[in-house]
Structure 1
Amino acid sequence: MKIVLASNNAKKLLELQALFAPLGIELVTQGSLGITEAEEPFHSFVENSLAKARHAAAASGLPALADDSGLSVDALGGAPGVLSARFATLFGQPKSDADNNRVLLEQLAGKPGPHRARFVCSLVAVRSADDPEPLIAMGRWDGEILPSAQGEGGFGYDPLMFIPALGQSVAQLDAATKNRLSHRALAAAQLVQQLKSVWLNEPSVPNGAA
């Protein structure tokens, strides 16, 4: 099955392709089909991911998958939230991972820590633009914001997101570990089960069954 991914992020494509490969799903980016990015005017991850999935499905005529994800920091009232990818631009700075990370630390300066935070991911799949039954999954990965970047891997806020249970930042984890534990992995695991039972008509296995 071919599904359009409503994103042009190459690293995100690799992560999601690895997660959905067992189902025989081939993800193609909307950019490779000449599809422009959708507007993301909403305040929640779910609403934005649904808007992006419907946009990609309408433009391609194919089923579509959209991810809207970001960082939510308790001390900032949930910010940067849905504005995570362009957080720095809210303060007149360029849009880049490095600038987003720097601005985040500036906004936390002077606030008592530790700074509890979570990565949040909403994954939505639609069969068509007017699908009345979108598949929706949410994943959350809890951690704390470091006072300075650690690690060279990953992207986005990964160098600042420390996972206490692992004793490392997300940027210090190998790709296999991140794909197994991340907010995107948690959401994908939920969505895989929904795809199997709703789209692929495979019976679900009750918890504890062989």
Structure 2
Amino acid sequence: MPSEKTIVLATRNTGKIAELSAMLAGTGITVMGLCDFPHIGDIPETGATFAENARIKALAVAQATGLTAVADDSGLCVDALAGAPGVLSARYSGLHATDAENNVKLLAALKDVPPEKRTARFACAMAAATPDGRLIETQGFWEGAIAVILQGHGGFGYDPLFLDPETGRTAAQLTPEEKNARSHRGRALAQMVPLLRNVPRG
């Protein structure tokens, strides 16, 4: 155990926890989530950018737990919608929106947009904060397009609508390994992991 480092992923999103835990397997880093700290309430995401929201969450959770905390804020940016839903991706169709409701709204917003103009990207800003306030940050992007119908049953969020140009499949049709190798979160985490190894304990 002394050779391991424990970090807290600042999320209760089981999809994110599963993805990030898989990507950190074998690194010597033990992962916990906010579900392990029920006393921590919701952290308002008041930032205007993904980076600001990631920073806010990481610093708050590091302070509350006394452990290094990693937070990410990510979302879908659609060119034909001037970058929307952007930082409001999880709340696109309302404060407590479901993935299905958000996908329905996105398809409706793009109903008259032809395939060649449905370009989009997933963006991820990731921040790690130590209890004493040190901060490291990375980011990742996944370029693609929005499908005209839902395809696939894997992943979460907008995955059934996000077409990966390399494979011609949606993110929801990729295996977890394929998705992690391509995704915005995977790219941000790949940069973060070596930096986390160098963060002193405590």
The reply to whether TM is greater than 0.5 is yes
Higher relative CO (CA 8 A, sep ≥ 6), structure 1 or 2? Answer: 2
Are 2:38 and 1:38 equivalent residues in the alignment? Answer: no
Output aligned runs, 1:117-156, within 5 Å.
117-128=120-131, 130-131=132-133, 133-156=134-157
How far residue 23 of structure 1 moved from its aligned partner, in angstroms, is 2.0
Partner of 2:76: 71
2:21 alignment counterpart: 17
Paired residues, what number?
A: 195
Shift of 1:22: 2.6
Query: Scaled by the length of structure 1, what TM-score is found?
Result: 0.88
Q: Which runs of 5+ in 1 are unaligned?
A: 201-210
C-alpha distance after superposition, 1:33-76 (max 9, x if no partner): 11112110111100000000111111111111101111010111
User: Helix, strand or coil: the match of 2:26?
Assistant: helix
Structure 2 equivalent of residue 55 of structure 1: 60
Specify the alignment match of 1:102 in structure 2: 104
Q: Which residue is equivalent to 1:3?
A: 7
Distance 1:81 1:164 in 2: 20
3-state DSSP class of the match of 1:190? helix
SS at match of 1:38: coil
2:160 maps to what in 1? 159
CA-to-partner distance for each residue in 1:135-166, whole Å, 9 max, x for gaps?
Answer: 10101000000011011111000000001211
Identity percentage of aligned residues = 45
Give runs of ≥4 in structure 1 deviating > 6 Å.
Answer: none
CA shift at 1:28, angstroms?
1.0
SS of equivalent to 1:55: helix
RMSD of the TM alignment (CA)? 1.6
In 2: Cα distance, 1:97 partner to 1:137 partner = 26
DSSP-derived class of the 1:14 partner: helix
Structure 2: stretches of 5+ with no match in the other structure: none
User: 2:199 maps to what in 1?
Assistant: 199
Q: Secondary structure at the match of 2:88?
A: helix
Q: Secondary structure at the match of 1:43?
A: coil
Does the 8 A contact of 1:69 with 1:122 survive in 2? yes
